[in-house]
Amino acid sequence: NAGVTQTPKFQVLKTGQSMTLQCAQDMNHNSMYWYRQDPGMGLRLIYYSASEGTTDKGEVPNGYNVSRLNKREFSLRLESAAPSQTSVYFCASSDGLAGGNNEQFFGPGTRLTVL
């Protein structure tokens, strides 16, 4: 089992460019999440998906869009990147209810720099 995989691992963008971060899990989990981690801080929830076809906003959704393509895949899109979106992005998945009492399994992260 690969667990949670994310692509790419690193990305540098110029202000105003767009890109999509990909995430896939092979654990048959219902719930998936996107977080960002800024230097010296904890993770902040951007968006989550409780099941295929549903998505909901987290704490910091502005500037992002998401798609739950199927049960395995959950993508995060930056339509017009800004320097404030420079961060490490983590995807996670969990069984059962989104935000419930189940362990979240995290991907290795994508380090994004916006110049």
**Binding span for other proteins by CB under 8 A among 17-25, 66-74, 76-84, 86-94:** 86-94
Q: How far is CA 30 from CA 79, 82, 95, 100, in A?
A: 26, 31, 6, 11
Q: How far apart are CA 71 and CA 93, in angstroms?
A: 10
**Binding span for other proteins by CB under 8 A among 17-25, 34-42, 67-75, 77-85:** 34-42
Q: Which is nearer to other proteins, 28 or 42 (CB)?
A: 42
Query: Is-contact 91 9, C-beta < 8 A?
Result: no
Binding residues for other proteins, per CB under 8 A?
A: 31, 33, 40-45, 48, 50, 56-59, 88, 90, 92, 97-101, 103-106, 108-109
